[in-house]
Amino acid sequence: MKPQIKRTLSNFFFEYETPRKVLVRNKRVAVVCRIIQMGVLAYIIGWVFMYERGYHAIDIAIGSIFTKMKGVSFTNISGKERIWDAADFVFPEQGDSSFVVMTNYIATVGQKQDKCPELPDGKNKNKCMSDENCDEGKYKRTGNGHMTGRCISNTSTCEIYSWCPVEDDRQIPDPPILLTAENYTLFIKNSITFRQFNVVRSNLVESVNQSYINTCLYHPKTDPLCPIFRLGDIVERSGFNFSEIARVGGAIGVLIDWDCNLDLSIRHCKPKYEFYGLYGTAKNDKEEKPSLGYNFRYAKYYVENGVEKRTLMKVFGVRIDIIVHGRAGKFDIIPTLTAIGSGVGIFGVATVVCDLLLLYFVPERDFYKNMKFKHTEIPEEVSVFIFFK
């Protein structure tokens, strides 16, 4: 074992290798070599340069979003008529890139701070049999207020101190109260900046003027640059069913994608719109999932006969998140040379593969080994003479 280790170390420190060229006339190996080289060349030209534009310097966009919803709905609930406009159904106030459009709600009118029975939840979590089940001053996770220590016999629930009457959200209105929300329109104004190239663009490109905006409605084929979108179309293109998502709520992502080749005219730098369902009930969902939908609560406070009251609104709606992704490229010599150098290096794969074939797989492998590797030893006297010459 020791002589072998000694010989290996000696060979490593006292032997020198230099390349030797051997012309091999073997059709099979030559064809394999050319196929690999052609594949590498196709990869460099097709993928690196044409598809990935490896000759480009790349910059990522900084963008801003301005939005505006428009639409009107009419409701008649228990003889009470009401008109709903954008100031009523958009949360928060308009202009943000992330907002909610109300499509359904549960209103609890005339709440005041008082003592009242807890709401039966149907799962016996709020059920009580006697006062002993209602710990005074305590709060249940599924409850709506602090328990007073009394069990109300006619509801079999604890008495609580809370905003009374307690909200009853066990039945969600179906069909949705604001089902006509599918005809609301969304106007999106987006501007981006590519700092590295000093380029500023807006989604209101050259062909989008005021007269066009007044009449257009986005369609991926006929009007792909129109910045006005119908809410129902956004929901449908994201893969959701509008009537279902309007009933319980959901979330949708609108992607504005900029992929600009600045070697061409700036007029070719245009946005593409894509729609994704982020959370909700999809058209093909068959199994029931827990905690579906999107909702939140807000209250309108007022004073009546010297008593503070409120109207509690549980809002179900479509949450829209607008995301901007911008990428621009322009010719630059440094990434071009880098891509070419990487491609030339990959050509070495053909040599490695063909050497493996010649040395280990073809029948004449011993002959090729002798031709490829030549072992030479310089006599010690001559090497000493050369060293001191």
Task: Give which of 213, 160, 185, 153 is closest to 86, Cα–Cα.
Answer: 185
Q: Which amino acid is at 302?
A: Y
Q: Is 185 labeled as ligand-binding?
A: yes
Q: Which amino acid is at 235?
A: V
Give the C-alpha separation, 258 to 37, whole Å: 35
Q: Identify the three-state secondary structure at position 48.
A: helix
Q: Which amino acid is at 309?
A: K
Q: Is 68 labeled as ligand-binding?
A: yes
Alpha helices in 173-311 (DSSP H): 210-215, 231-237, 242-248
Q: Is 13 labeled as ligand-binding?
A: no
Buried b (16+ CB within 10 A) or exposed e, 42-74: eebeeebbeeebbbbbebebebebebebebebe
Q: Is 296 labeled as ligand-binding?
A: yes
Bond preceding residue 363 cis, omega within 30 of 0: no
Contact 317, 103 (CB under 8 A): yes
CB-based contacts of 339, cutoff 8 Å, min separation 6: 44, 48, 49, 54, 55
Contact 51, 339 (CB under 8 A): no
Give the C-alpha separation, 42 to 29, whole Å: 20
Q: Is 108 labeled as ligand-binding?
A: no
Give the C-alpha separation, 125 to 319, whole Å: 31
Give the C-alpha separation, 181 to 186, whole Å: 11
Backbone φ and ψ of 37, nearest 5°? -65, -40
Q: Is 311 labeled as ligand-binding?
A: no
Q: Are strands 185-194 and 98-117 parallel, antiparallel or unpaired?
A: unpaired
CB-based contacts of 144, cutoff 8 Å, min separation 6: 118, 119, 160, 162, 163, 166, 167
Q: Is 221 labeled as ligand-binding?
A: no
Known binding-site positions: 68-70, 185, 295-297, 314
Known binding-site positions for ATP: 68-70, 185, 295-297, 314
